[in-house]
């Protein structure tokens, strides 16, 4: 069981992978934040790449949120338009602060596959940088899941368009949804983007009807899209 953890952060997803699959899991994590260190360094079946994953091998701008590491991002748009900057009914404006960007090394999913092999799962949680990550993938893998926020639908739709071009045909959604937004195609997840909670059902993209969950101005709904 080979897994790519794109957006390793503090290692929560990797920990969940080892809990679920045990020693059968081989995890390759990617995390560009120099302030974060691996908590799985003692495992022979874990590798951490201290780079961002993007559309090209080279360098990218990286915006660190020093008091909220999970909100660090390569997306300037996220620092300006997300719920964490613009606010919502659940968050005050500027609830997260980012320091001026620095340049970090970047790799691609294709490069990771060339070096480590085709993964069974790719998890991507990089705060609106998901589309840039997927642009560095030119082949279909067994299953991908990536985070989405309703205030940034262009990122979501761009990701799905790219995945469909690569041959992904089945989609599911798990997440935290505002009251009244839960419908039969969606799997409610109290945590929103928790790990290895898979959708109850998969659909074609049109049948999934994601538009029922998206209100760009509300800035509340979020979760994970699954594609295979």
pLDDT given at position 111? 98
pLDDT given at position 181? 65
Task: Kindly list the structural domains of the chain, giving each domain's residue range(s) and its CATH number in brackets, ordered by start.
Answer: 2-227 (3.40.50.150)
Q: Do residues 72 and 33 make contact, with C-beta atoms less than 8 angstroms apart? A: yes
Q: Is the pTM of this model over 0.75?
A: yes
Length of the chain: 228
- CA angle, 79 then 219 then 83, to 5°: 25
pLDDT given at position 23? 86
Instruction: Please state, in angstroms and rounded to a whole number, the distance separating the CA atoms of residues 128 and 98.
Output: 14
φ and ψ at residue 188, rounded to 5 degrees: -75, 135
DSSP 117: -
Strands 58-62 and 52-53: unpaired
pLDDT given at position 164? 98
**Surface-to-core class of residue 67, CB atoms within 10 Å of its CB (0-12 exposed, 13-18 middle, 19+ buried):** exposed
Distance of CA 48 to the CA centre of its chain: 17
Instruction: Please state, in angstroms and rounded to a whole number, the distance separating the CA atoms of residues 47 and 191.
Output: 27
pLDDT given at position 37? 82
pLDDT given at position 180? 62
Q: Going by C-beta distance under 8 Å and a sequence separation of 6 or more, which residues neighbour residue 110?
A: 136, 137, 138, 139
Across the chain, which has 228 residues, the per-10-residue mean pLDDT values are 97 95 95 91 94 98 95 97 95 96 98 98 98 98 97 98 98 88 84 87 97 94 96
């Amino acid at each position: 069981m080979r897994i790519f953890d794109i957006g390793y952060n503090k290692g929560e997803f990797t920990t969940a992978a080892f809990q679920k699959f045990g020693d059968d899991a081989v995890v390759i994590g990617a995390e560009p934040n120099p302030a974060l260190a691996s908590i799985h360094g003692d495992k022979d079946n874990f590798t951490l790449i201290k780079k961002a994953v993007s559309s090209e091998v080279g360098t990218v701008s990286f915006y660190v949120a020093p008091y909220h590491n999970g909100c660090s991002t390569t997306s300037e748009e996220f620092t300006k338009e997300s719920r964490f900057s613009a606010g919502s009914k659940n968050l005050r404006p500027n609830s997260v602060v980012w320091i001026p960007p620095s340049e970090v090394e970047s790799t691609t999913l294709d490069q990771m596959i060339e070096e480590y092999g085709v993964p069974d799962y790719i998890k991507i949680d990089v705060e609106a940088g998901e589309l840039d990550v997927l642009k560095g993938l030119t082949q279909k893998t067994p299953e991908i899941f990536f985070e989405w926020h309703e205030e940034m639908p262009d990122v979501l739709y761009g990701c799905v368009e790219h995945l469909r071009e690569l041959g992904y045909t089945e989609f599911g959604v798990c997440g935290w949804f505002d009251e009244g937004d839960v419908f039969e195609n969606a799997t409610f997840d109290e945590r929103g983007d928790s790990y290895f909670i898979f959708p109850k059902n998969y659909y074609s993209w049109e049948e999934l009807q994601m538009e029922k969950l998206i209100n760009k101005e509300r800035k509340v709904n979020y979760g994970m899209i699954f594609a295979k």
